[in-house]
Structure 1
Amino acid sequence: MNTTVISIGHKRSRGSETRNAIAEGEVIWPVSDLPDQKQTGQWLNETIAGKPYEGIALSLWTHHPNFRLATEKLAGFITPRWPAANGEPLLGVAVERAARAAEEAIDRAQSFEGRVVGVYLYGLASIVEDVAKLSIRGIDRDGASRGWEYFSVPLLQWARGHGIEQLLVRQIPGSPASVLLHGLRNSLIAHIASATDAGCLAKYAPHG
């Protein structure tokens, strides 16, 4: 498991540890408030319920179970709590972009399997810029500060594995570097898609 570990000195009680470690501009996400990672299917159903793209997403997931699997894996990394720029759950933004892109490809008679798979994954991966605008760390069971590396391991799994009770979240000023975004897209796709589906993205929809 790849994490960045930074010592913050002597060990204190867990409560005072987190309070004293909060940096300016950081907000707390209690780990206990995050939905259970085993409920990713339920997360998706609740995220799209009543949305204009609900029917499109459900139809795509019925005909392409690999789409739903990839989306559930994405949900495990960011949870439904990760905010988009407009304040909505970022997970919903990802689903809408992916579903709309696949629908557009079908409407344009580009419905062959590779193209639809590619644009769907491209839509999911389009949210990496929003992800890169937040940094997340936590105080582990040994009193050390650990930073979550984007898409290295699902967020909740990472926190619980290190005994982290509160996530310290900070917004990163400015725009993420293009080389970082390129790397994050590749990393995300490698973690949520099969090699064949990732190949469809690279061959049929490298630019959407």
Structure 2
Amino acid sequence: MLEDSEVGLLLTQEKLVTTLPETQAEIISLDKNRSLIELENTNNLNGEVNATNLAYVIYTSGSTGRPKGVMIQHQGLCNLGKAQIEHFQVNNLSRILQFASFSFDASISEIVMAICSGGRLCLASSEDLLPGENLTETLNRYRITHITLPPSALTVMVPEALSTVETIIVAGEACASSLARKWSQGRKFFNGYGP
């Protein structure tokens, strides 16, 4: 991915530097250089960004086994956020759990829905996200209203135990119709499987 994207600057942590492949990128360890970074100007950069500029590059696993970068423009990201906020009825009172790993593209929609609606993005430890009792407790503790989960996570949970969840989006794998019927009682249920 470093080679393909021709990254010029790589931000990382010192403990990860030795695990990186050889690269032409300048490597900056945020933790090691923290005191120097804190001395830098904190004003916003004067830059012009338009809808066709890249927001990010996300890598697929690639059918050849070699990761392939997909370039996402700001307009695509904005359109995704606007459509999901409207479709899933997300607002400034919504509480969205960040369930997907930051390295997975599904995390982008969770982040964008929360930020662009004025809602709250709730983060939890990997242990608190384990499907079953841990996840149920986390959803209730943070009073989560919107969640995106793989259907398999729902199979080990009880719908009645989630008092605040208004909207469930399933993704990442096929969802059985019986599971959809069970979990859609009294809440909105969307099948988001398949990019």
- Give the structure with the higher percent strand: 2
Same fold by TM (over 0.5)? Answer: no
Coarse TM-score class (shorter-chain normalised)? under 0.3
Q: Give me the TM-score of the superposition, normalised by structure 2.
A: 0.21
| Greater Cα radius of gyration, structure 1 or 2 | 2
Q: TM-score, normalised by structure 1?
A: 0.20
